[in-house]
Amino acid sequence: MPWLRQKHDGNLLLDLHIQPGAKKSRVVGLYGERLKLAVAAPPVDGKANKAVVQFIVRCLGIRIRDAMVVSGMTSRRKTVEVGGVDEKRVRRMLTDSD
Protein backbone atom coordinates (compact mmCIF):
# COMPACT_ATOMS: atom_id res chain seq x y z
CA MET A 1 0.00 0.00 0.00
CA PRO A 2 1.46 3.34 -0.97
CA TRP A 3 0.39 5.02 2.28
CA LEU A 4 2.13 2.44 4.50
CA ARG A 5 5.91 1.94 4.53
CA GLN A 6 8.27 0.07 6.82
CA LYS A 7 11.50 1.61 8.05
CA HIS A 8 14.72 -0.33 8.57
CA ASP A 9 14.19 -0.26 12.34
CA GLY A 10 10.80 -2.00 12.00
CA ASN A 11 8.68 1.08 12.69
CA LEU A 12 6.02 1.98 10.16
CA LEU A 13 5.37 5.26 8.36
CA LEU A 14 1.79 6.20 7.55
CA ASP A 15 1.30 8.83 4.85
CA LEU A 16 -1.95 10.59 5.68
CA HIS A 17 -4.22 13.32 4.34
CA ILE A 18 -6.03 14.99 7.23
CA GLN A 19 -9.44 16.64 7.18
CA PRO A 20 -9.64 18.67 10.42
CA GLY A 21 -12.86 19.96 11.95
CA ALA A 22 -14.98 16.93 11.03
CA LYS A 23 -18.06 15.85 13.00
CA LYS A 24 -16.18 12.77 14.24
CA SER A 25 -12.76 11.23 13.83
CA ARG A 26 -12.70 8.37 11.34
CA VAL A 27 -10.93 6.78 8.42
CA VAL A 28 -12.40 8.18 5.20
CA GLY A 29 -10.50 6.06 2.65
CA LEU A 30 -7.77 6.65 0.13
CA TYR A 31 -6.93 10.14 -1.09
CA GLY A 32 -4.48 9.66 -3.92
CA GLU A 33 -1.71 7.56 -2.42
CA ARG A 34 -2.45 8.67 1.15
CA LEU A 35 -4.93 7.37 3.69
CA LYS A 36 -7.45 10.10 4.48
CA LEU A 37 -8.47 10.65 8.09
CA ALA A 38 -11.14 13.02 9.31
CA VAL A 39 -10.51 14.37 12.81
CA ALA A 40 -12.90 16.33 14.97
CA ALA A 41 -10.22 18.71 16.26
CA PRO A 42 -9.67 22.07 14.55
CA PRO A 43 -6.32 22.86 12.89
CA VAL A 44 -5.35 25.29 15.66
CA ASP A 45 -2.42 25.17 18.10
CA GLY A 46 -1.50 21.58 17.17
CA LYS A 47 -4.90 20.21 18.18
CA ALA A 48 -5.39 18.36 14.89
CA ASN A 49 -1.93 16.77 15.17
CA LYS A 50 -2.72 15.57 18.67
CA ALA A 51 -6.09 14.22 17.52
CA VAL A 52 -4.45 12.33 14.64
CA VAL A 53 -2.00 10.63 17.00
CA GLN A 54 -4.74 9.82 19.54
CA PHE A 55 -6.95 8.35 16.80
CA ILE A 56 -4.10 6.19 15.44
CA VAL A 57 -3.20 5.00 18.96
CA ARG A 58 -6.81 4.10 19.73
CA CYS A 59 -7.32 2.26 16.42
CA LEU A 60 -4.10 0.29 16.65
CA GLY A 61 -4.12 -0.38 20.39
CA ILE A 62 -0.61 0.96 20.90
CA ARG A 63 0.91 3.27 23.51
CA ILE A 64 0.83 7.02 22.93
CA ARG A 65 4.64 7.11 23.03
CA ASP A 66 4.73 4.70 20.05
CA ALA A 67 3.15 7.18 17.61
CA MET A 68 4.18 10.64 16.49
CA VAL A 69 3.81 13.04 13.60
CA VAL A 70 7.22 13.14 11.89
CA SER A 71 6.38 15.48 9.01
CA GLY A 72 3.64 17.87 7.97
CA MET A 73 3.08 19.52 11.34
CA THR A 74 1.30 22.49 9.71
CA SER A 75 -0.05 20.69 6.66
CA ARG A 76 -2.94 18.39 5.83
CA ARG A 77 -0.34 16.01 4.38
CA LYS A 78 1.24 14.30 7.37
CA THR A 79 3.48 11.34 7.99
CA VAL A 80 3.00 9.50 11.27
CA GLU A 81 5.55 7.01 12.57
CA VAL A 82 4.24 4.11 14.65
CA GLY A 83 6.01 1.33 16.52
CA GLY A 84 4.96 -1.74 18.44
CA VAL A 85 2.59 -2.96 15.73
CA ASP A 86 3.00 -4.98 12.56
CA GLU A 87 2.02 -3.97 9.04
CA LYS A 88 -0.83 -6.49 8.78
CA ARG A 89 -2.52 -5.13 11.90
CA VAL A 90 -2.19 -1.54 10.71
CA ARG A 91 -3.74 -2.42 7.36
CA ARG A 92 -6.58 -4.35 8.99
CA MET A 93 -7.35 -1.85 11.74
CA LEU A 94 -7.21 1.30 9.62
CA THR A 95 -8.81 0.11 6.41
CA ASP A 96 -11.61 -1.80 8.17
CA SER A 97 -12.43 0.89 10.75
CA ASP A 98 -15.26 3.36 10.42
Q: Is the dihedral of CA 38, 58, 66, 64 positive or negative?
A: positive
Query: Using 50, 70 and 90 to split pLDDT, how confident is the model at 95?
Result: confident
Integer-rounded Cα Rg, in Å, for the chain is 12
Whether the per-residue pLDDT at 98 is higher than 80: the answer is: no
User: Could you tell me the residue ranges of all domains in the chain?
Assistant: 4-95
| CATH architecture designation of domain 4-95 | 2-Layer Sandwich (3.30)
pLDDT in tens, 47-82: 999 999 999 999 999 999 999 999 999 999 999 999
The chain-wide mean pLDDT, for the chain, equals 94
Provide the pLDDT for residue 11.
Answer: 97
Cα separations in angstroms, 16 against 41, 67, 98 = 16, 13, 16
Provide the pLDDT for residue 1.
Answer: 60
